[in-house]
Amino acid sequence: MISSRDRHWREHPENRGAGGSSRVPGLMDVLREEFAVPVEEMYPFRKIVINPARHNEDQIRELAPRLAIAVGLALRSFDEQ
């Protein structure tokens, strides 16, 4: 359980919901109200160019929160020490 006293929520005003649960109707609104901080659904493709001829934009937006970890891992450099 995340408490409104949790330091992370106060120090990081830009909170993003990710994963399938971020699609639960009304969840983002409840989090905004409960913790009095901005909360938005994560869109990991913000800086990635997507070819509209190959991918349906609506489908990408629907799947985006569930793909956040996969996109992060795909962009990660495995050469880092």
Residue 1 lies in a domain: no
d(CA 6, CA 15): 13
pLDDT tens column, 14-59: 778 888 888 899 998 998 999 888 888 888 898 888 899 999 989 9
d(CA 63, CA 54): 15
Tokens for 56? 């349906």
Residue 18 lies in a domain: yes
DSSP bridge partners of 40: 16
CA 17 to chain centre: 4
List the domain range (segments joined by +) for residue 45. Answer: 7-75
Q: What angle do CA 26, 43, 81 make, to 5 degrees?
A: 130
Residue 70 lies in a domain: yes
pLDDT at 2: 42
